[in-house]
Structure 1
Amino acid sequence: MPTSLNSPTPSLFDAVQRDGFCFVTADTMQPLLQSAGGLSDWTHFAESWNRLGPDPYLAAKGRFRRRRHATFTARANGTIELAPHQPHFQSLQYNALQGDIERWFEPIEPAMANGASLRTILTFCNGFFSSLAFGISQWHVEVHQFRIEANTGEAGEPTPEGSHRDGVDFVLVLLVDRHNIASGTTSIHAPDGKPLGDFTLTRPLDSALIHDPRVFHGVTAVTPLAAGEEAHRDVLVVTFRAKP
């Protein structure tokens, strides 16, 4: 059985089933996460974004962001296991910019991969997504730490591939921090391009839950509010894909 989750989860289920996505404010997400586990290492977890390595694949195309990556196996009965480090792969169908190549990124630091905050987030996702997909017993889970940096005269691009799908079943996008940036608005579109909604993740734990086969998503470029000061947007992206 999927991990049980407390109210207001039913309303989020309804939104994702109806619309293919929902925006969850930090005020709602925090108690939901705490019903799944603890966030005792959150401060250290958030600080780990200061130690992300560069994304060499984007740098080669004149763009820049930092990231780390880890893979897990989750079972609908609740068990979640860290898998051996492996590349991230998307087909050209889902990533026209960097598809059909194995992309190796620095692994998420072991203390973070096994820490309370990430395990709680994965437990929540496992329960929520498994409850939306009865019959799926096992998931391939990928976790991405992203830092998008912006400079004066050079905007940061959270989704340089544009509005897209990830080629998975479900996606969580969770804001960890944003500092000295403007914009970064998430937009959701139907496959025919019809706009379905937009929102901006502004507070730590603000989140988006997305049923990837049904909708496209993208994020507008971010720019510094104050010139000459560090500007970044830190997010955690978790994807769930059914394993055969």
Structure 2
Amino acid sequence: MSAETVPVETLAARVRAQGFAFVTADTMRALLQRGRGLDGWDRFAASWDTLAPDTYLAALGRHRRRRHAVFSAAASGAIVREPHQPHYQALHYNRLQGDIERWFEPMLDEIADNPSLRLILEFCRDFFAVLAPAVVAWHIELHQFRIEARTDEPGEPTPEGVHRDGVDYVLVLLINRHNIASGTTTIHASDGRELGHFTLTAPLDAALVDDGRVFHGVTAVTPLDPSQPAHRDVLVVTFRACESA
């Protein structure tokens, strides 16, 4: 099915039916652009080269780089960046690093204001509103991730294993893959049954996940050429409903 034949309501119906949807890059590009260009995309993607080490995982012998930002949005109107704050997940959701406040380096201001990122945020707000029309305001967190794969140590996109994030909805958007194999996303029911799997391979390939209904995980990535750098770059956007704007 081409991008032109996948309206938002059809995509929303997939998420309602199975708890997730895999969206190809061509379809995602059409959904984001809405007749406009993805202005600033090259600068946006290049910002993954500026990510800071995830010192929390480094303490456990794992290698990941990231930046973090928090936004808020009403059902319509401006999407506003909030002051920098920690990322927190309960131990129930993150068995590896739950119940602690994790302070990551903030997303750069010029990236938070990047036109491509703003299109992504607007799409998410409008799409998740189709799934949850009664929500009046959203708490939004953005995570820029670079998972590094090394000769002696595969990269782990989800070191906590198959999990939920403890939010309402999640977008996982591939920015780039360089010299890696695997990285397959799996979706699971609460009893552990696998409901589907797919691999984000092209920039703008995406997963839309109803985090309240399904669990997700990603298999480890390994270098294709062990002598060269290898990494997987993704943007993760989470939406959690708030009681008021």
TM bin, normalised by shorter chain, reads over 0.9
**Using the alignment, how far apart are the partners of 1:64 and 1:150 within structure 2?**
8
Aligned to 1:227: 226
Q: Secondary structure at the match of 2:34?
A: helix
Measure, in 2, the Cα distance between the counterparts of 1:28 and 1:210.
16
Alignment of 1:1-244 (within 5 A): 7-35=6-34, 38-244=37-243
Runs (4+) off by over 6 Å: none
Aligned AA (1:74): A
**CA spacing shift, 1:96–1:186, aligned 2, 3 Å:** same
C-alpha contact (below 8 Å) 2:9/2:130 kept by paired residues: no
Greater shift after overlay, 23-32 or 76-85? 76-85
Verify the 8 A CA contact 2:173 2:234 in the aligned structure 1. yes
Cα drift, residue 7 of structure 1 = 4.8
Amino acid corresponding to residue 102 of structure 1 in structure 2: E
Call closer, same or farther: CA 1:189–1:28 in 2, change over 3 Å.
same
Per-residue CA distance 1:165-200 (angstroms, 9 max, x = gap) = 000000000000000000000000000001100000
Letter in 2 for 1:46: A
SS at match of 1:223: strand
State whether residues 78 and 123 of structure 1, in contact with CA within 8 Å, keep that contact through their aligned partners in structure 2. no
Q: How far apart are the structure 1 equivalents of 2:163 and 2:187?
A: 9
Contact in 2 for aligned 1:184/1:221 (Cα 8 Å) = yes
CA distance in 1, matches of 2:133, 2:238: 17
Q: Which runs of 5+ in 2 are unaligned?
A: none
Cα distance between partner residues in 1 of 2:241 and 2:9: 22
Q: Tell me the distance in 1 between the aligned counterparts of 2:178 and 2:133.
A: 39
1:54 and 1:65 in contact (8 A); partners too? yes
Q: Deviations over 1:185-243 (max 9, x none)?
A: 00000000011000000000000000001000000000000111010000000000001
Q: Distance in 1 between matches of 2:122 and 2:37?
A: 10
SS in 1 for 2:88: strand
- Counterparts of 2:84 and 2:130 in 1: how far apart (Å)? 28
**Which runs of 5 or more residues in structure 1 are unaligned?**
1-5
Q: Look up the SS of the partner of 1:213 in the other structure.
A: coil
Q: Separation in 1 of the partners of 2:141 and 2:198?
A: 24
Q: Distance in 1 between matches of 2:100 and 2:121?
A: 26
Counterpart CA distance in 2 for 1:78 and 1:174 is 23
- CA-to-partner distance for each residue in 1:74-102, whole Å, 9 max, x for gaps? 11114200000000000001001000100
Q: Distance in 2 between matches of 1:7 and 1:73?
A: 28
Code of the aligned partner of 2:235: L
Which letter maps to 1:20?
G
Aligned residues between the structures: 239
Task: Give the secondary-structure state (helix, strand or coil) at the position aligned to 1:44.
Answer: helix
Between the aligned partners of 2:37 and 2:137, the Cα distance in structure 1 is 24
Q: Percent identity?
A: 64
Asked whether the 8 Å contact 1:38–1:120 carries over to 2, the reply is no
Which amino acid is 2:92 matched to? Q
TM (norm. structure 1) is: 0.96
* Shift of residue 130, structure 1, vs aligned partner: 1.1
- Partner amino acid, structure 2, of 1:117: S
